[in-house]
Each structure stands twice: as C-alpha cells, then as structure tokens.
Chains A and B, each alone.
Chain A
Amino acid sequence: MRCNYCERRCRIASGETGFCRMYTVSQGVITERFPHRWSACGTSRMEAFPFYHVFPGSRSLAIGTTSCNFRCRYCSNAYIAKEDPESQQERMYHLAPREVVAMAKKMSCRTIVFNVNEPTVSLPSLMDLAAEAKAAGIPMGCLTNGFMTAESTELMASIFSFFNVSLKGISKTFGREYIGASSLRPVLRNIERLAGIRHVEVTTPVIEGANDTEIDAIADFLGSVDPEIPWHVFRLLPEDEMRDRDYPSIEAIDAALRSARERLPYLYFHNFVGSDWVNTACPACGTVAIERFSLGCGGDKLNRVLGGEGQCPGCGRAIRLFTHSPHAGDEGAVRTWT
C-alpha cells in the first residue's frame, strides 16, 4: 500500500514500515504504530518556537513525537528525529488526548504547539488531540517541514490554527545534499495553500556555503505568496553531522538579507543571543510595535507590546497577529482521513 501522508508516498507492505518508521499496514489500512506517545510535554514561551505573531508572550504546551520524513544533516533534534522510534517508546509520555489537554489546562497554557519533530509522521494522534483541544477552546499550532501531500495539508489545516513552515531551501541540489529530499517543490505548494487559509510563519536556517545563495530566491517566493508572512532567518547552530562546521557569520548573513528586508516587512534574523533583528516594526511607518529579546538556545522572549495589540503605536495600521480561538471563521471540525 502507499502511505499518502507525506510526499515520499512510501510503498509499505503489511507489517512493514516506510521511511519514517511511524506507520505500518495493518488489515489493509495505513496505521500509526505508536499512537498517543509523546516525546515532549512541557511549557514554552510562544516566542521560543518561534511564533512571533501568535498570542505574543503567552505560554504554550509544547509537544512532539519521534522520527521525521527528512534526514537533515544539521538536525538539532537528531536523537529524537533520526533514532529508531521503536527504541524510544519506553521513554515516551503515554498520554491520551484528554490527558494532554488536561496538562495544558493545569499549566495555564493558551495553546498547544507540536514542535519537536515533524507532525506528518503522527497525524492520526494529532487528529484525536485536536478534537479534544478544540472542544476545550485551545488552538493548536505546529512547526513543520511542509513536505506533506496536498491531502495531508488539508488535514493539517483542520488540526492546526497556525503554522511555522521550515523552508530550508529551494534548489534541488540543496534538498538532495542536505535534506535528503529529491525536490522541495511540495513545500512551496503547501506554503502557498496554508498561507491562504491559516496563519503561517516561515523559518529558514542559513548555512554558509549551502543555502545562503538562495536567500533572495526564498524572499521572492514569500513575497509572491504574501509579503507579510513573518520570516525567521536562523543562524544555523552546527549540530549532528555538521557539528564540525564553523558557526555562520552573522555579519555576512545580515548583509545577504538587506535586499529581502525591503520587500518583507516581518523579516527576523535570530537564533543567537542578543540579536538586533527580533522586533516587529510597522510595515507602513516603521515604528516598533513589538519588542523582543533573543536568548538563542534559551528561546526568545517578549519584552513588550507597544500600543494596542495588533495595532501600530505610531500610525494605527494593523500588525498581523493571530489571537483567535481555534479556526475562527471556520466551521472548525477536524477532518477525517479519506
């Protein structure tokens, strides 16, 4: 059978697994192997994920599972994303959807965010959780690599109210050499679709000599979709197979972003302590509307929101913010897989 959750569309035989090792075929159906097992369940600041334009300064319950459908050479969570998921189950949290939502409530979390690994590898559990969270009025968000099928994109749009899609590069060469994906075109397609129906932010980790030459192309793409998409450019922390690489030059990346800044008003450059590029300025008049502080690996934090929430303190123009209940303006039902 084909697994149609992600664009790898693995062919899986009965009792076998595909690339991510998270699905199998049981009684002729693609089935999740480890439902309702979580690798993480703790609080986080919204800015630390990062989501800069979602409930600023709020507390979220951060969750994750295991495995991934990419094999990034610089993975910062390789011990979760690349290890055999079966070997990790003993360490996982075993929490039913009701218990995850209860945990969020006990810790006064405004949202639930899936952020450790790729949500596409655990969609059935996330559908169950979303139904419970929605009933409790808790919006869910996720960090994703965006390499899911068009069908899964619709499903994820019914689960999550806000997304941070990692657009790691654009070229085939980069995708092949650093990600282990033959093409990143599905990611672009999914960003276009999601940006039309949900709140979307985008993150690009920059690796000198690998994807720094693609910065302008990525900026062009985002500008064509929606110039007000918040774009987080990360200074890559050399990890995993690239741990011996030099730390990328902050000055060089900053210089490479100059042209993009003229087109994309919500462009941020961080993942290092004390970054100068983490505040939100009004796209119209340039007045700072939201001040933040970057703690690098400690996660970013909100300093203050100036003026009214979602409004420029200078000219009153709207600043893009997601502060809704789950799927406001939508019927809100979690889709079922067909």
Chain B
Amino acid sequence: MDIAIVDARGWQNTLDLETGEKASVSGPAVEIVQGVLRRHPYPGDMDRGSNRWVSDTAIDLIEAYNPRFVFLTYAAQYFAGRYVPMTGEERSRMIADAFLEAQRFVDRTGFAAIAVGTGNMTPRKGAIDATAIDGLAICTHWSTRYAGLYDPSPADLALLRSHPHIESIVPREEVMTLFGGTPGQAARVPQYLMLAREGYTFKTAGVLMKTPVMIPSVNSAIPLYAPGRTVEAITGIRAILEEELAEKNVALIFMEGVGCDEFAWPFTPCRNGTRWWHYEPSEAQYLTISSGRHRFLDYPTGYKDFEEEDASKLYPFSGYFKAIPEDTFGSHFPGRSISVGNKSMFMHMVAGADISIECFARNLYNQGTMAVIHRQDKI
C-alpha cells in the first residue's frame, strides 16, 4: 500500500494514497516522515521562505533516511514571477536567490547536482477568449499555451483558425500520430488541441481569475546543468542519471520557470519536446524527464478533467492522476530515493521516489504538507 501522511499543521493523518481511507500503519519510515513534517511547516507558495523549506526539509529527510538519489523542485520563483509584477532587477535577484538555495543544499549534502530549468517566462500580452463559441474550449492545470476544443461548429473553427493569436489547431489524430498511445489514452485527448502564440493565454471555462503577469514562453529548448555531459533532448536526462548514480549520490534539481535566458549555472540546451510540441512546466514535462520518454498522454492538456471527478475516482491527493504513472526514475532505482518540492501535489507521482514530501497547496492556498511513502522496505 502507498501511504500518504498529511500534515494540516497540528493535525496529522495517515491514509491510503489510493483510496484516501485512514490507514493504520507504523514503522521506521512512517516515524521518520511524521517527524520531518512536524518540524517543517510549509510557509506558502508566495512566501520568501518557500524555497528554503525545500532545502531544509530535504536535508532533514536525508539525515534520517540516507538516500542515494534526491529529486528536488524549487518553484517559489515560478509562482512569484507568474503573479507579482516586478522589475528586471527584482526578477534577477529572485532567481539568483533560488540558485543560492539550491547551492546551499548541494554544499550541505555533498550530492552531485544535475539541474534542469523548466523554461523561460515571458510577459503576458493578452488572452484569447474562447468562451462564447458553440463548442467547448478547456484549459487544464495552469496551461496557458494549449487548450482543448470539443464539438466546434464550422463557424467556431473558422473563427478560431483566423484568430491572430492562435498559432494552430491540431486534430486529435495528429496528436496521436505524434505521441502514439492506446485507444483508451486517445479518448482523453481533446478533439482538437489549440496552440496559442507566445505571450498569449487561452480564456476558457475554468480559468482562474488571478491573471498572470508572466507566463511560460514557447520553450523549444531548456537548460541542463550536467558537468561534462550533454543530451540532445530532455528524454536523454534519465540515462545521465543512471550513469552518474553508478558512481555517486545524485540530486536532480528542477528550477521551475527558469529557462536558458536566466539559468545561473553553466548549461547546455536540450530539446524540450518533439516537432511542434513544446512542454510547459507541467506534470508531463516532469514525467518525460523522469521516465526518458514522452508522456503527454498520461495527463493530456485540454482534456475534460471534470468528467473524471466523481466519487469513484481514486488517488484523491494526486490531482487528476487516476493511477501511479509507470516507469518513473525513482520507481526503478534500487537504492534509496526521496523527492521534495514546493510545486504542489504531484511530486509523488512524477518522481517515483521511496519517500516524497510536498506542499499541500492548491491555487496558492496553503493547507500544509503531504508525504507519500511508496517503499518502506528499503529501511
């Protein structure tokens, strides 16, 4: 059983990750995690101490669990950059602080760092209003460049295809040709996938009123810090991890919302997608890096997520995931592994580490922290 331990500040619960039912479990891994959660309350996505929480929590967990592989995400600069207007100087300082925090972790633990920036951000220029159409347009999980389109009328298609800020409208068949996949996966892919031009967001049903000031750029390449190594595309990062871990302890560090323009460490660019598809900072991008193959179909953007939101849905703490993704790096690594991150509740799904600790926050509301124990048998 995969165990979730939720800490709502002064209130801890141990639950079955799959069903959400209370679980009566004990053991050294559970005790370690309970203690770490108690000692490290999450300060909030927009708090200046948010990235420090990642390092401090990871260091504490390393001291207790002694892992060989660590998967970290620093995301405070992504949330702040997305919503808080700031000068170039303020943004530079914020990103420098994020790298200092990652460096502090490396210096303190001695882990060899391999770092990825998930992509540049760009000022938002405007929105493409796709609400008053005959069909239905859907944006999911903070996506800005991509939106799904369902049952469009000929008039809808004519209108949207002529929109100056829409780059293209791709039919489902073409998406499936690009990514392959099963008929079951195809059923979740929208009838059409709409692509916005850089700087523009889609406005569809379900979009948050909190309008971003910066959104992800169209990142055809993202930076990779891996001393002495290069890869052509993000699907090659997993092989580097495997090779490095044969010799030393490794930390795979994600710097959210930082691309080739602002990455503070020496890097080589690597391709961030395939053909016309470029990943946004998202679960799909993390899964692709973690598993070494493209994973758009696990969690396709623009799908009708609300149709799966019923009482029968499993994994209540895992967003729209309905099952634990296969082939994640941590799930195959035989040594001990952990992940810690402040980009909401999905680290436990994309890293596959023995123990994951993440903030329990949604849309910037801070409810505490959550740990997931996938493996208790390595201790």
Contacts and interface: CB of A to CB of B under 8 A. Distances in A.
Interface of A: 39-43, 45, 57, 59, 76, 79-80, 88, 91-95, 99, 103, 106-108, 116, 237, 239, 247, 249-251, 272-274, 293, 295-298, 301-304
Contacts of B13: 273-274
13 contacts: A39-B209, A93-B131, A106-B135, A106-B151, A247-B9, A250-B8, A272-B11, A273-B8, A274-B8, A274-B15, A274-B22, A297-B365, A303-B311
Contacts of A295: 316-317
A108 B306 CA distance: 10
B6 A274 contact: yes
Contacts of A116: 209
Given A237-B366, A274-B8, A304-B311, A293 B20 contact: yes
Contacts, number: 103
A27 to B, nearest CB: 29
B316 A41 contact: no
Given A41-B205, A43-B206, A293-B316, 4 more contacts: A106-B135, A107-B306, A274-B8, A298-B316
Contacts of A39: 209
Contact of B310 (A57, A92, A297): A57
Contacts of B10: 247, 249-251
Nearest to B131: A93
B215 to A, nearest CB: 14
Interface string B79-106: 0000000000000000000000000000
Contacts of A95: 131-132
Interface string B276-317: 000000000000000000000000000010110111000011
Given A40-B209, A106-B136, A303-B311, A297 B8 contact: no
A114 B151 CA distance: 27
Given A41-B206, A273-B360, A76 B365 contact: yes
B367 interface: yes
Contacts of A40: 209
B280 to A, nearest CB: 20
B17 to A, nearest CB: 12
A42 B309 contact: no
Interface in B1-32: 6, 8-11, 13, 15, 20, 22
A302 B366 CA distance: 22
Interface of B: 6, 8-11, 13, 15, 20, 22, 129, 131-132, 135-136, 151, 203, 205-207, 209-211, 304, 306-307, 309-311, 316-317, 345, 360-363, 365-368, 370
- Between A39, A274, A298, A301, the greatest number of chain B beta carbons within 10 A of the residue's beta carbon is seen for A274
A113 B357 CA distance: 35
A272 B311 contact: no
A295 B129 CA distance: 31
Nearest to B151: A106
A316 B307 CA distance: 32
A79 B210 CA distance: 8
Nearest to B5: A274
Contact of A274 (B11, B203, B304): B11
Contacts of B317: 295, 298
Given A41-B131, A57-B311, A59-B306, A296 B316 contact: no
B46 to A, nearest CB: 10
Contacts of A298: 316-317, 345, 362, 367
A298 B310 CA distance: 14
Contacts of B131: 41, 93-95, 99, 103
Contacts of A302: 311
A226 B151 CA distance: 47
A42 B363 CA distance: 14
A222 B131 CA distance: 41
Given A41-B205, A41-B206, A59-B306, A301 B8 contact: no
A242 B345 CA distance: 25
Contacts of B362: 297-298
A94 B10 CA distance: 43
A293 B310 CA distance: 12
